Chain A
Amino acid sequence: MTHRPYTPWLFLAPGLAVCLLFVIFPFLNMIVLAFTDASALGGGEFTGVDNFVRMAQDPKFWAAARNSLLYMAGVVPPLVLLPLLIAMLAQKIVPGIGIFRTAFFTPVIASTVVVGLIWTWLLDSRGLVNNLVEALGGSRIGFLTDSTLLLISSMVVTIWRGLGYYMVIYLAALANVPKDLHEAAMVDGAGPVRRFWSVTVPSIRPTMVLVAALSAVNGFRVFSEIYLLSGGSGGPGGASTTLVMLIQSVGRGLTGEVGYASALSIVLFVILLGLLLVTLKLNRREDRL
């Protein structure tokens, strides 16, 4: 016997306590609450599927779900492609490459809030970007005051912040592409574009799929970027609110409708779980390669 029977449980106790109390229990409780009319003040009667019926008729829910989906669809393609191109630029060891790679990663380490505030200032009606637009002969654009432009601006912030992160993942993948494949293609007279599509892309396709899955999950749960760029309002009339923002605003505070917020959370969970399972599966496959 190498240890007493209860020893492993002493090792596990803190970790299990945190997971059970702050993940598993709230999760199970959320499922129960979703079928009640509980408020933030407590109580709540069993109301069956009323919350879900209400959701189906709630235009705010449909708008938020649409925004979250649009957001996901908007950020995934650029986040799959642009970091790959940057990784290809930064892949070759040339003098100073360390400085470039480090600088490209800076937006990742700055917190989302810092990044959000920096871009709020850049995209201000009189900010740097609008100055540039004017200098080029255009007229000022309401990046933060129009609900569609607000969504697009937030996507740009997400994409900008993701460039360095996914670049690092791609750099690791590119390092494993056999050199002789490129050389053989070159001997066969394939140009750079042809080699990109016929050699690079097929060799790192698993990583591209992984990046797509990761950025999809993160895109669907967007909160901070839109919250900050809209100053907490979710855009004019709340028209740019996403699903996570909606849950936060419905369930929060003394007037919070906890029951309805829980029903919304279940929908969020089901969608995210689907995306997460795909990601985990791809991640595992990636590990084997």
Chain B
Amino acid sequence: MKRAHLFLALRYLGLLSILAISIGPFLWQFATSIKGPGEDVFVPDFIPDDPTFGNYAAVADVVPVWTFALNSLGVASVNVITNCLGAAMAGYALARLRFRGRRFAAVIFASSILVPFEAIMISLFLVMRGFGLTNTLTAVVLPGAIAALNVLLLRNAFLALPAEVEEAAIIDGANAWQRFTRLALPSVKGTLVVVALFSFMFSWDDFLWPLIVLSDQEKYTLTIGLAYLQGTFVQNQRLVAAGTIIAVVPLILLFLLLQKHFFRGVGEGAIKG
């Protein structure tokens, strides 16, 4: 019995050390963000003597951080909608409709998964320039608007649905769009939530592509805005810290609300990235 207690204590000790490693850096960043101008940010002090939220207002004076946040929010929201709808439509056609050329369409999506973004980013920039879209948020949205991986995830979800329900609907005279919106879509809600979450996160986190395609500060998304903030105001760490906290809080809230879907998504989307 004693031995079991010892093991339990050791387990908690281990868990607590990992906890410190996981969230300690965030706490330190938060502590830095609420330190007043009179306090030395280099002193390892997690609880400031005179906490202030003034840095959150001040960071907006040096860079338009709220514009960055709105840009990111806009891009991410559009990405969620286009991915859920566009990928579901394509996935439904692949899984549920019979037609010539289905294999061809499936091959296009499957081969798109195999092309890593990093390999085509320069060429993609030329495409956007061809469309006259460089330095626009539209160009940030488009390449990830309907990810091939999401098409295949939803195709698999639709394939798993029993065929009988739809057969009944066909006899009742429902057309393909009606069957899609009224029968198929509501049945794959779980997968849709996963697609929505990961589209949002992927888009909110994206750094390399906005860095390549955007050049004007007022178009910046949060990620490149923060990198710019760090490059320009590195001497005032309090502001950089406040900016990073602004960027991370929405995601933490989203995560706390929808935890179990996140954990499911890690399994399903393990090859995305």
Interface residues of A (CB under 8 A from B): 2-3, 5, 7-9, 11-12, 14-16, 18-27, 29-30, 33, 86, 89-90, 92, 94, 97, 100, 102-107, 109-114, 117-122, 124, 126-128, 131-132, 160, 163-165, 168-169, 172, 210, 214, 217-218, 221, 223-224, 227-228, 231-232, 244, 247-248, 251-252, 256, 258, 261-262, 265-266, 268-269, 272-273, 276-277, 279-280, 283
Interface size classification for chain B: 35 or more
Chain A neighbourhood of B111, CB < 8 A: 24
A139 to chain B, nearest CB (A): 16
B266 contacts A168, C-beta separation under 8 Å: yes
Closest B residue to A272 by CB, please name it.
Answer: B116
Interface of B is mostly: helix
A30 contacts B119, C-beta separation under 8 Å: yes
Tell which of A12, A21, A23 touches B93, judged by Cβ atoms closer than 8 Å. A12
In the complex, what distance in Å separates the CA atom of A251 from the CA atom of B122? 6
Assuming the contacts A27-B120, A113-B223, A268-B118, asked whether A18 and B44 have C-beta atoms less than 8 A apart, the reply is no
B191 within 8 A of A: no
B123 contacts A262, C-beta separation under 8 Å: yes
Chain A neighbourhood of B86, CB < 8 A: 14-15, 18
Interface of A is mostly: helix
B146 within 8 A of A: yes
B248-259 vs A, Cβ < 8 Å mask (1 yes, 0 no): 100110111001
In the complex, what distance in Å separates the CA atom of A94 from the CA atom of B11? 9
Tell which of A11, A121, A231, A232 touches B180, judged by Cβ atoms closer than 8 Å. A11
Chain A neighbourhood of B190, CB < 8 A: none
Closest B residue to A164 by CB, please name it.
Answer: B22
Closest B residue to A28 by CB, please name it.
Answer: B123
Q: Which stretch in B50-58, B59-67, B97-105 binds the other chain?
A: B97-105
A11 contacts B123, C-beta separation under 8 Å: no
Closest B residue to A257 by CB, please name it.
Answer: B122
A161 to chain B, nearest CB (A): 10
Which of B170, B177, B234, B244 has the most CB atoms of chain A within a 10 A radius of its CB? Answer: B244
